[in-house]
Structure 1
C-alpha cells in the first residue's frame, strides 16, 4: 500500500469517527427546532420541516429553565473560584513548603483518589444536615471547594518552579504571601486554566450530589431541572432536546474555546511531575 493511499485511508477513518461522534449532537440540535411530535414520525427526519423557536420559548417561559440556568451558573462559578483558591494554595504548599508530616499527609491525600465519591455521600449529607445547610447553594459548593485531584494536579506542576527563584525572593525580604501572589501565581497560569475548566465542567454536569443535597425545586441546577421536566413531558422529545441543547452548548463552547490551554496544562503538569 502506497503512503498516499494509507494517508487517505487514515483520514477517511478519522473523518468517519468524527461524524459518528458528532451526529447525535447535530441531530439533537435539529430536533430542538422541530414541532411537537415531528421527531417521532417514521422514518425520523434529519432536519425540521419548518424550524421553530417554540420549544426554547416554552422552556424559559413555562418550564422555568432560566432559573435552573442561573443556579447552574452561580454554583459552577462559585465552585470554580473556591477550588482555584484552595487547590492552588494547598498544591503549592505540598510542592514547595516544608512542614511536619507533609509527605504522610500527601500520601493520605493520594489514597483519597482511589475511594469512590459515593462512599462519602452519606456521612457528608449527615454533616451538612447537622449544620443546617441542606437545600442551599452551600450544600453543593462547599464539598467541592477543594479536591484531592486538584491539589495533586497543582502540586505536580508547582514542583517545576525553581527553588532558587523562591529563595532569592525570601532573601530580598519578600513574605510568603507576596511570593505566592507575585511569583508563583503567574507561573501557575497554565495549570490554573486547566483546573478552572475541569472544575467548571465537572460542577456543571454534576447530577448525583445536587440531587441529594438540593430538595427544593427553586435550587435545582440544569441537570436536575431537565430530569424533573422529563417526568412531566416524557413524550415531548422536541422540548427535551431543546433543554439538552441549553445544557450542552455553554460548556461545549467553553471547552472548545479553551481546549488548547486545557490540554497544554495537563501535558505540562505530567511532564513537570
Structure 2
C-alpha cells in the first residue's frame, strides 16, 4: 500500500510522512525537488500541473493534500490541478487539510472549496481535516523568544479569544486515520476541546520551561512589523490580515460532534505534551 504526501519536506507534510512510516505503511514524498528527500521514496511533482500529479497519484492507495503557500491565484491553480488529477488517476483516498483556511463560507468559493467540489464531482473517496490555528505558530522567534527570555508569550489574539489549537503532529495522526479508514467522510475538526485561551498557552509554556510565563496580547500591526523581516511584505500581509479578521470574531472553536475526538477517537496533545514531543 502506497500513500502520497504533498509537501513532505514542509511543516505539515513531514509529520504525515513520518506518521505513515511509523504505522508501517509505505509513504512517498511528493515534492518539487526529490534531492531534498533522503529518508523516503520521492516523486517530483508540479502542484499546478494535472499531468504531473496524475503520474504520481496513479496506483496510490491514498494522497494527503494541503494547498501550497502562495498567492490566491497560485492556490486556485493547484486546487484545480489536484482535483483534476485525482479524478483522472483515482487514488483510493484523498485527505485534504484546509490548513486553517475557511471552507464552505456562503457566497465565497476559495481554492479549498474548488478542490472539494472537484473531488465530489469526480466520485473520489475523500475526507477533510479542518484545523483552526497551529501551535507551531508559537515557535516563531518573536513569540517563543520572549517566552524563554522574559516570561512573556506575545501573540495577536485577545485574552478572551478561545481557539481549538492543534499541532501538525495532531493533524498527522488524524490524516493517517482517515487515509486508512475510507468509511469516514466529511469534514473533521482537529483541535483542543475545551478551546484554549492565551493564558492556557502561557501555562503550557510555563510548565515546560519551568518558569513563570504570562500571555501578552499584541495588535496584528505590531505582530506584522515583527514578522515582515522574516517573511517579506507579500508573505506577511495575509497573516496580518487574518489576525485583523480574528479581532472581529468571538473565537475559533471546532464542533464537538464532528471533532477528531468524537469521530476518530483521537485526543490532541496538550501544549506541554506537544513541546515535549518536539523535544524543545
TM-score (ref. length: structure 1) = 0.22
Work out which of the two has the higher radius of gyration on C-alpha atoms and give 1 or 2: 1
Higher strand share: 2
Higher helix share: 1
TM-score (ref. length: structure 2) = 0.21
